[in-house]
Amino acid sequence: MNNIKVRFAPSPTGHMHIGNTRTALFNWLWAKKMGGTFMLRIDDTDFARSKKEYEDSLRESLQWLGLNWSEEARQSARFERYNEVVEQLKSNGRIYACYETPEELEFKRKYALSKGRPPVYDRQALHYTEQDLARFKAEGRKPHYRFKLIPGEISWHDVVRGDVKYEAENLSDPIVIREDGTFLYHLPSVIDDCDFGITHIVRGEDHVTNTASQIQMFEAIGGRAPTFAHLPLLTGKEGKLSKRLGSLGVRELRAEGVENMAICSFLAKLGTSEAIEPFYSLEELAETLDFSKIGRAQPKFDEEELKHFNLKYIHTLPYANVRSRISGNEDFWLKIRHNLTKVDDAGLWNTICNGEIMPIMEDASLTTAAAELLPSEPWNEETFANWVNVLKTQTGKKGRALFHPLRKALTGLDDGPELKALLPLIGRKKALQRLNGQKA
């Protein structure tokens, strides 16, 4: 288990969504737990859809989550290497040219299904005659290329799924180069994983069939297949794959005040046999990673559950984690965090306690009486109860009629942290001025 190396390989064709965030997280946690290396590989071979703005967004999201990388590569810079391997595989008969049109391939697929057979490519391209090739050339056809699978069993032990087996005869030879000369995902990924020494590949279970084909690609280029872990795919709360999961991303959640470690804590335990609970550092979370506790069922991701969990996370967040983000000391944070929906709201309560606000005088006669009865400092959390008990006796007010006007005068708001906690933070001078209707 020495020299563990994993990679996260996003395509910059969109912003980072919740699904590939989870993949990146598990790779990073595995590398951290095992003392290994986390690599970022930009799979930007799709020139038509890859955009710099998406790549910048991916990088920003990873860094905000704390998933930093120590090595990176870019597929668009490695075409010379890919072409070198392709020529080798062509000469070995493992890559071959095919001239079927998409329409012809679709007809073959439907015909096979109508006969009750799996829609496996029939390898007609291996039997072209000189006349066939001449006709294709005359028609202006350009070939696409497939990787030839060797008959036999393809098997591996998957860290999540256990023992997995495929018969190569039941798989289509995968297309590796399109007719426009661009590469599909399969072969460049294998070449990169070999060249960069990737030891473990953690990805979604939608790649399981790809893995079977890629294991033979590793062997064909003289490499060794990494250890694989295929994670069950997230589903929506409605119980099926959701388009929302393909668009909901780190950027949107961050803008709504969801904390980075709330996202990581939630995704790391979703679909496992462990409870979803707050973790306050990635290092702490990494120590708990256990692939044996990942269930085989597709976990249901509910955005509202994450946001509810985020509240729990914020309400228990240690001061050390927010010190650089808020104004106010630890005492201030511990007293206001239970009423926050996002950490940035702490700024509002800092203004209420330490800045100036214009009080709202809901019951001027009550607040004037309250000002006259305001005790001398020093204050503590018992001060408020002692004060309002005297005020209750003097005015006959109780319940909302007593407490709400005091809150409006002291904070300018309808609700918030308990006044017994806020009053010592506001201090006597400000409290007295606000109770008298003065800006303070």
DSSP state of 294: B
In a domain, 305, yes or no: yes
- What is the model's pLDDT at position 238? 67
Q: Is the domain of 75 the same as that of 208?
A: yes
Please report whether residue 193 resides in a domain: yes
Would 87 be classed as within a structural domain?
no
Together in a domain, 117 and 141: yes
Answer yes or no: do 395 and 258 share one domain: no
Do residue 69 and residue 9 come from a single domain? yes
The tens-digit pLDDT sequence of the chain (440 residues) is 568 999 999 999 988 889 999 999 999 999 999 999 999 999 998 888 889 999 999 999 999 999 999 999 999 999 999 999 999 999 999 999 999 999 999 999 998 899 888 899 999 999 999 999 999 999 999 999 999 999 999 999 999 999 999 999 999 999 999 999 999 999 999 999 999 999 999 999 999 999 999 999 999 999 999 999 999 999 987 666 555 666 678 999 999 999 999 999 999 999 999 999 999 999 999 999 999 999 999 999 999 999 999 999 999 999 999 999 998 899 999 989 998 999 999 998 999 988 999 999 999 999 999 999 999 999 988 999 999 999 999 999 889 999 999 999 999 989 888 888 889 989 999 999 999 999 98
Residues 394 and 315 in one domain: no
* Vertex 33: Cα angle to 31 and 38 (nearest 5): 15
The answer to whether residues 136 and 255 belong to one domain is no
Any domain includes 88: no
Number of structural domains (the chain) is 4
11 and 61 both lie in a single domain: yes
Whether residue 318 sits in one domain with residue 170: no
Looking at the structure, do residues 45 and 172 belong to the same domain, yes or no?
Answer: no
172 plus 27 within the same structural domain: no
β-strands 162-167, 153-158: how paired? antiparallel
Q: Which of 214, 233, 252 is the last residue of a domain?
A: 233
**Measured distance CA(199)–CA(248) in Å, rounded:** 30
If DSSP states are collapsed to H, E and C, what string results for 177-202?
A: ECCCCCECCHHHHHHHHHHCCCCEEE
Q: Provide the CATH number for the domain around residue 303.
A: 1.10.1160.10
Does the pTM exceed 0.85? Answer: yes
CATH number of the domain where residue 194 is located: 3.40.50.620
Q: Which domain holds residue 22?
A: 5-82+185-233
Is 297 in the same domain as 423?
no
Q: Interior CA angle at 345 toward 340 and 349, to 5°?
A: 90
Query: pLDDT by residue (tens digit) across 317-376?
Result: 999 999 999 988 999 999 899 989 999 999 989 999 889 999 999 999 999 999 999 999
Residue 238 lies in a domain: no
pLDDT at 132: 94
pLDDT at site 421? 86
CATH number at residue 395: 1.10.10.350
Nearest by Cα to 237 from 292, 289, 307, 288 = 307
